[in-house]
Amino acid sequence: MILSPKYDYFIKELFHEEIVLRYFIQDILSLSMEQVRSVRLRNTFLRRSHRKKKLGILDIVADLNDNTKLNIEMQIRFFKAWDKRQLFYLCKLFTEDLLTGQDYSRLCRCIGISLLDFNLSEREEYHSIYRLRDSAGNEFSDALEIHVLELKKQLTGQNHVDDWIRFFNIETEGDIKMLKSRTKNPGILTAIQTLQRMSLSNPLRLWYEAYMKKLRDDRAWRAYVQEQSREEGLAEGKAKGLAEGKAEGLAEGKAEGLAEGKAEGLAEGKAEGLAEGKAEGLAEGKAEGLAEGITTGEFIMLNRLVKNNTLTIENAAQMQGITVEEFKRTIQLLESRDIQSRK
């Protein structure tokens, strides 16, 4: 069994191989060997000025011989605001070494390299480079730079970047043989040796299999919660939509019917106005009610699972792509609405 090179524990072990780290940085950033003479791994915990500030924990942090700081991360699953998260960590890395009263010239260039196992954009490019430029393309500063490698996209080149993406997509022994036959890159070949060696390690394999089982269980549980939430949301939304639609339809129908009745006759105008208003009101009310009901149903279902200790509130908030505080405020709002509707 071959370990997935995307496994977070493997990534950390892999980049502790200096030759792998040096060639990876050189190839992704298009640097010469002279520019990457030395690489030093750093503490992955970013300093915070006081306890209430968010703690930053990075995957791989390294320094180049010109004091450029690097953050290398593997992201398996997409989540909301990933771009803001990337900027948060890069800016924390940029400012962490500057103490109060020190000169800004001490700030070092920071580069983020993100390996994404999902498509961030619909463009064909799978290696994107972002820097600070104006609308005409003139560079403001090279202090911050982000490289994004989207591993799921179709490869169109034959360079070292493409071969690194092929390495991180290895799934079988056949993939390893194919990559070894097409590259002489010392970094990639060493990375392959590390992957094969760690795949033979029994403790690590058990750890990896447990990790993969957890991922599969998380996906299955999320699908179950979403399905249950959708069913409850549809039922509640349909009932609410029909009630609101009927009320709005009668009101609109009566108003339109009275207006037309003055010109064409009270009897005919009232009949047509009621029919048309009721149909439009029901359709609009049902659509709005269903949409609101589905979202409300998801929160209600997740809150029940939290109260039953089936799910932690942290996991419930993560499934909705929000913070724990935002999840609590949403539940309080829904409960207050429910109390008011019963009065």
233 contacts 240 by C-beta, under 8 angstroms = no
Rounded to the nearest integer, the mean pLDDT of the chain is: 79
> Is residue 206 in some structural domain?
no
Shared-domain flag, residues 180 and 285: no
Q: Which of 190, 166, 196, 210 is nearest to 16 (CA)?
A: 190
> Is residue 1 in some structural domain?
no
- Name the more confident of 331 and 201: 331
Shared-domain flag, residues 144 and 220: no
pLDDT of residue 131: 95
Query: What is the extent of the structural domain holding 306?
Result: 216-342
Please tell me the number of Cα atoms within 13 Å of 202 on its side-chain side.
Answer: 0
Shared-domain flag, residues 193 and 307: no
* Range name among 28-42, 145-159, 212-226 with the lowest pLDDT average: 212-226
> Is residue 3 in some structural domain?
no
| Total domains, the chain | 2
pLDDT of residue 163: 97
Please state the rounded mean pLDDT for residues 179-188.
95
Please give the share of the chain, as a percent, with pLDDT higher than 70: 74
Q: In whole angstroms, what is the distance from residue 52 CA to residue 285 CA?
A: 44
> Is residue 162 in some structural domain?
yes
Structure tokens at 255: 């108003």
Last residue of one domain, picked from the residues 200, 227, 243: 200
Q: In whole angstroms, what is the distance from residue 25 CA to residue 56 CA?
A: 22
- Name the more confident of 35 and 260: 35
Residue 126 has pLDDT above 90, yes or no: yes
Question: What is the per-residue burial (b if ≥16 Cβ within 10 Å, else e) of 137-170?
Answer: eeeeeeebbbbbbbbebeeeeeebbbbbbbbbbb
> Is residue 207 in some structural domain?
no
pLDDT digits (tens, 9 = 90+) for 290-327: 335 446 777 777 788 788 777 788 877 877 778 888 87
> Is residue 65 in some structural domain?
yes
Last residue of one domain, picked from the residues 137, 172, 200: 200
Shared-domain flag, residues 141 and 221: no
Shared-domain flag, residues 147 and 259: no
Shared-domain flag, residues 222 and 195: no
Please give the share of the chain, as a percent, with pLDDT higher than 90: 31
Shared-domain flag, residues 117 and 153: yes
Per-residue pLDDT band for 23 (boundaries 50, 70, 90) equals very high
Per-residue pLDDT band for 282 (boundaries 50, 70, 90) equals very low
Per-residue pLDDT band for 201 (boundaries 50, 70, 90) equals low
Residue 336 has pLDDT above 70, yes or no: yes
pLDDT of residue 286: 44
| One-letter identity of residue 267 | A
- CA geometry: angle at 287 spanning 283 and 288, to 5°? 120
Residue 55 has pLDDT above 90, yes or no: no
